[in-house]
Copies of this chain bind each other. A is one copy, B any other.
Amino acid sequence: MPIRVVVWNEFHHERTRDDVKAVYPDGLHNTIAAPLRGEDGVEVSTATQEDPDCGLTAERLAETDVLIWWGHARHDDVPDDVVARVKERVLAGMGLIVLHSAHFSKIFKSLMGTTCDLKWREAGERERLWVVAPGHPITEGIGEYIQLEEEEMYGEHADIPAPEELVFISWFQGGEVFRSGCCYRRGAGRIFYFRPGHETHPTYHNTEIQRVIANAVRWAAPTGPDVRGFGNREPLESLG
C-alpha cells in the first residue's frame, strides 16, 4: 500500500507577488510535492485554497494518509467545516505535517490548544537547524545540522505545548533560537511541525529540507487501522 500524500497550499503569495513567483513559479505546493514523487511507495497530489472545498472534501481526506499544510496570509479564509473535517481525520490516524507559517493555521491551533504565537523577523539571515534527536526516523540521512543561508527568523518563546519529541533546534544569526522540529500525537494521528520555509527564500529547493519532509511523511503515515472504542461498556469481570 502506497502512502497517499496531499500537499496543501493556500497559493496566494505566488500569484500576487513577483518576488515569491520568482522563487516558486509553480507554487509552493508543486515545489514541495516534486521530490516526494520520486520516493518509493509514496503517491502525491496537491490541493489549494482556491479549489472547491479547499480541495479537501470528506472523500478525498478519507483517501489521504498524510496531509502537508502550508499557509500564511489567508488562514482565516479556510472554512471552519474544512478545518473540522481535517481534524477528525487526524484524530482518526491521518498524519499532518505543518510547515513554517502554518503554525498560525486554524488546524494547528485547534490541535495544539494554544495561541501558537512566536517572535519573527524578515531579514534573510542565516539559520542552522541542529539535530537534537539523532537516530530519530525524521533525521535519517541528515548530518549534525542543516544550514540555510537566508531565512525568516522565528524565535522563542513559542506558545506551543511541549513537543512530545523535539527533533531540531534552530540557531539564528540575529540571536534567537527556536524549536524547529516538533512531534505530537493527537488521537491516533501523528503531527510534525517543521519550521523553515518562508515564501521568499528557496528553502524547499534545498535537498536536506526535502529529505526531512520525506522522512516525516513516512513517520507520520498511519500504521494500521485505528482500533478504538468509546462509550458505555459492560464489565469484563464480575462485580459480584
CB distance from A109 to the nearest CB of B (A): 9
Cβ of A236 under 8 Å from chain B: yes
| B110 & A113 in contact (Cβ 8 Å cutoff) | yes
- Quick check: B239 and A123 within 8 Å, CB to CB? yes
User: Quick one: given A232-B120, A237-B175, are A227 and B130 in contact (CB under 8 Å)?
Assistant: no
Copies of this protein in the assembly total: 4
Min CB gap A124→B, angstroms? 8
CB-CB under 8 A from A131, the residues of chain B are: 156-157, 227
Chain B CB within 8 A of A171 CB: yes
B229 contacts A119, C-beta separation under 8 Å = yes
Selected interface stretch from A2-10, A67-75, A184-192: A184-192
Q: Smallest Cβ distance from A140 to chain B, in angstroms?
A: 4
The answer to whether A226 and B135 touch across the interface, beta carbons within 8 angstroms, is: yes
Cα separation A222 to B142 with both chains bound (whole Å):
14
A228 partner, pick from B110, B153, B157, B170, beta carbons under 8 A: B157
Interface string of A171-196 (1 = CB under 8 A from B): 11111110100001111111000000
Q: Does any Cβ of B come within 8 Å of A128's Cβ?
A: yes
Q: Is the C-beta of A42 less than 8 angstroms from some C-beta in chain B?
A: no
Please state if A135 and B233 are interface contacts (CB–CB under 8 Å).
no
Contacts of A223 in B (CB 8 A): 135-137, 140
123-159 of chain A: CB within 8 A of chain B: 123, 125-126, 128, 130-137, 139-144, 153, 155-159
Q: How far is the CB of A110 from chain B (nearest CB, A)?
A: 6
A235 in contact (CB, < 8 A): yes
Pull 24 A–B residue pairs with CB atoms less than 8 Å apart, ordered by A.
Answer: A91-B159, A110-B113, A111-B113, A115-B230, A120-B231, A120-B233, A121-B232, A125-B239, A126-B237, A132-B179, A134-B188, A134-B226, A134-B228, A139-B224, A142-B227, A159-B228, A159-B230, A161-B161, A161-B186, A162-B164, A169-B169, A170-B177, A174-B235, A174-B236
